[in-house]
Amino acid sequence: MHISEGVLSAPVLIGGGALTAAGTAIGLRSLDYDRIMPTAILTATFFVASLIHVPIGPTSIHLLLNGLLGVILGWSCFPAILIALLLQAVFFQFGGLTVLGVNALNMAASALLCYYLVRPWLMKPKYRAAAGFIGGFLAIFLAALFMAAALAISDTGFLRAAQISIGAQLPIMVIEGFITMFTVSFLARVSPEILGDKQ
Amino acid sequence: MKNIIITAFLTLCIFSAAPVAAHKMRLFAYGNATTISGEAAFGSRPAKNIEVVVSNEADGTTLVTTLTDELGNFTFAVPGEAVENRFNLLIIANAGEGHRSQWRLAAEEYLPASTTETAGPAEPRPSQPVHPRPQANQQVAITEEQLKAIVDQSVAEQLRPLQRQLLLLSEKKTTLQDIIGGIGYILGLAGIAAYMRSKKEDKNVHS
């Protein structure tokens, strides 16, 4: 899911960077005192999750967990994902520093969309599991779609790029759907304040 | 309780992740003045059916486009203009999905040293051996250039595993230190954020 350096054109890189900066600013503002530790823990989870590889598809794919971050953190997923991606780029050579903005935008914007789509149902115990699954599934789907869009604006046709990236990520969508579902259900039982309603 | 479980999950991630090779694409190429071969792989898995674009490094014009086979290998004939003008080749493999890797093949790596090349065109040479040795015993005469080409090619073949090994060695592996270091950074940033927030709240309380 990480776009490598040298693939995207400059306008895409700059646009992605600007949008990520805006999202991060809003995310940091919404980050109140009680949310700092959950955000940090989820940042760390996102940071290491990418190391869990599943050897399926043309390249090996790895966990992303952006959906989990999105449904739990809301806007704060922007700084969380940005920092995790920065550290991944520096320590693991995933993605790269120039594409950091675009990669963060793809993963955080999709996570944020899931937050708004799924959140109302997440608070109702009856629908919680389904909402968690959909959140985890959809976040990867959207991230793949955004990535395809970023690649398409730069060169390859959108349809082909979208087919490749969504096709390749399909197993991960299902896996993350389940991971998000179980994590959310588990958190709701053990420490509902992490899911806690802010509004 | 929840902290223990989260810590346990993170620890599990760390240890299950440690031996995994990065999914970065590895690419290398070698060759001589007629053909260039190379291979592409994701970690230990060959990168199949991936588009490989060869371009002139100086101006970026595309010279050759080819695909990798089932084993991630590719071969292409060196275009004449590249030999004539001694292009430095830039070989780029693009797996779509944002995975891209490149390998630079400088002119001196695949072309014979420029001294023999500039000494003169190869045409007059073949006539020389005819004089001293009129091929009495049906022996196949090998000119100096042909011999050199054969040696070059076989040396390139022999060096291939060595090159691959060097590339594997130079590839930075993810270590436990990287993972723990990264988590340390995140905790440190969380600490900074908590400190800033507490200062702000202090100010609000006092004023």
Residue B195 burial (CB count, 10 A)? 11
Restricting to A residues 12-71, those with a Cβ less than 8 Å away from any Cβ of B are 28, 31-33, 36-37, 39-41, 43-45, 47-49, 51-53, 55, 58-62
pLDDT tens figures, A162-195: 777 788 788 889 999 999 999 999 988 888 887 8
The one-letter code for the residue type at B140 is V
Give the per-residue pLDDT at B9: 59
Q: Looking at the predicted structure, is the pLDDT value of residue B173 above 80? A: no
Give the per-residue pLDDT at B7: 62
Cβ pair A161, B96 in contact under 8 A: yes
Q: What is the mean pLDDT of residues A45-52?
A: 89
CB contact under 8 A, B20 and A4: no
Rounded Cα–Cα distance for residues B110 and B86 (Å): 9
pLDDT tens figures, A143-164: 999 988 888 887 766 777 777 7
Rounded Cα–Cα distance for residues B182 and A91 (Å): 7
- The ipTM value here is 0.81
**Among B30, B32, B70, B64, which residue's Cα sits nearest to residue B50?**
B70
Provide CB contacts within 8 A for A113, sequence distance 6+: A70, A138, A139, A142
Give the per-residue pLDDT at B127: 47
Give the per-residue pLDDT at B196: 87
Rounded Cα–Cα distance for residues A127 and A162 (Å): 30
Chain A residues with CB under 8 Å of B24 CB are 4, 93-94
Q: What is the pTM of this model?
A: 0.73
Rounded Cα–Cα distance for residues A51 and A161 (Å): 24
pLDDT tens figures, B4-40: 665 665 555 555 543 344 456 778 887 777 888 888 8
Q: Does A143 touch chain B (CB under 8 A)?
A: no
Provide CB contacts within 8 A for B9, sequence distance 6+: A45
